[in-house]
């Protein structure tokens, strides 16, 4: 077997081992893969954002009956401001063709059977009630928990779900809660789906927690919310 040789004034060259070559190759592949991920993300980001905008827009008009245009605003203790101007929660003020406020769409979420159930609900300040919901994201059990997204009887709970305020105007008069299937007695109760109680409770809890906080703010700043129609349309029915 030959051995490395050296000449005067030149150090002996050590051959690269197969392990080193493999590490170098894998490192190069990892760097290339990382670069491709960044490039793909930058390229697809505008398309993803546009798809999300369209999805939200369609959901807004689904949960606020009669709406045809929307304005996104931030609602907080300080009042109604443009998105990005102050701390608060983004809500979607939905108007009809005449510029009349038909309701507000608000995002909410709560722990379901497997993961967080994320939804959008529509609140009608004139009746102080929830007019509709749209499930945005969930991983509930197919054929059971996922029925909260499409079961007609369950969705009927949200045609006019009572979310009226207490006399002080700082919270709901009655908490929105899910009850065992067939045991609904009050307009603020949600008749749960048999076999999908946990998912039904998640939807009710999400709306209740959000409404306890947002309904008082909406009613307090209702005049300003009606005036946001003058800010211009953020979108129309697709």
| Structure-block tokens of residue 3 | 């051995």
Number of Cβ atoms within 10 Å of the Cβ of 128: 17
Q: What is the mean pLDDT of the chain?
A: 86
- Per-state percent for the chain, helix, strand, coil, to nearest 5: 40, 25, 35
Run of H or E including 74: strand 69-76
Cα 33 to Cα 114: distance, rounded to the nearest angstrom: 32
Return the minimum-mean-pLDDT range out of 18-27, 93-102, 174-183. Answer: 18-27
Give me the pLDDT at residue 11, please: 58
Give me the pLDDT at residue 102, please: 96
Run of H or E including 92: strand 89-95
Q: Is 77 helix (H, G, I), strand (E, B) or coil?
A: coil
DSSP symbol at 17:
P
Percent of the chain at pLDDT > 90 equals 60
| 3-class SS string, 97-109 | CCCCEEEEEEEEE
Cα 60 to Cα 113: distance, rounded to the nearest angstrom: 26
Q: CA dist 179 to 5, 86, 149, 182, 186, Å?
A: 86, 38, 18, 8, 10
Buried b / exposed e over 76-96, threshold 16 CB at 10 Å, is eeeebbeeeeeebeebbbbbe
DSSP symbol at 180:
-
Task: Confirm if 70 and 94 have CB atoms less than 8 A apart.
Answer: yes
Give me the pLDDT at residue 14, please: 58
Helices (H), the chain: 18-63, 152-155, 197-220, 222-227
**Which pTM was predicted?**
0.77
Helices and strands counted in the chain (H then E)? 4, 10
Among 55-69, 129-143, 198-212, name the most confident range. Answer: 198-212
Domain-wise residue ranges, the chain: 49-231
| Structure-block tokens of residue 95 | 């108007």
Cα 231 to Cα 228: distance, rounded to the nearest angstrom: 5
Per residue in 85-132, pLDDT tens?
667 899 999 999 999 999 999 999 999 998 999 999 999 999 999 999
Average pLDDT over residues 1-17: 57
Give me the pLDDT at residue 177, please: 97
Cα 55 to Cα 14: distance, rounded to the nearest angstrom: 61
């Amino acid at each position: 077997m030959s051995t490395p040789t050296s000449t005067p004034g030149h150090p002996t060259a050590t051959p690269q081992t197969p392990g080193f070559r493999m590490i170098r190759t894998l490192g190069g592949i990892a760097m290339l893969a990382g670069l491709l991920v960044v490039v793909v993300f930058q390229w697809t980001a505008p398309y993803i954002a546009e798809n999300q905008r369209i999805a939200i827009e369609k959901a807004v008009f689904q949960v606020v009956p009669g709406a045809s245009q929307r304005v996104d605003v931030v609602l907080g203790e300080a009042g109604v401001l443009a998105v990005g101007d102050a701390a608060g929660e983004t809500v979607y003020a939905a108007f009809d063709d005449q510029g009349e406020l038909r309701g507000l769409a608000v995002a909410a979420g709560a722990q379901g059977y497997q993961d967080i159930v994320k939804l959008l609900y529509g609140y009608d300040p004139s009746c102080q009630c929830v007019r509709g919901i749209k499930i945005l994201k969930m991983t509930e059990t197919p054929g059971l928990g996922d029925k909260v997204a499409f079961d007609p009887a369950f969705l009927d709970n949200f045609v006019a779900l009572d979310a009226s305020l207490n006399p002080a105007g700082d919270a709901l008069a009655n908490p929105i809660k899910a009850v065992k299937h067939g045991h609904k007695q009050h307009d603020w109760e949600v008749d749960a789906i048999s076999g999908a109680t946990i998912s039904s409770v998640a939807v009710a809890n999400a709306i209740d927690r959000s409404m306890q906080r947002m309904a008082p703010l909406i009613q307090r700043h209702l005049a300003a919310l009606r005036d946001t129609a003058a800010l211009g349309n953020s979108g129309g029915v697709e």
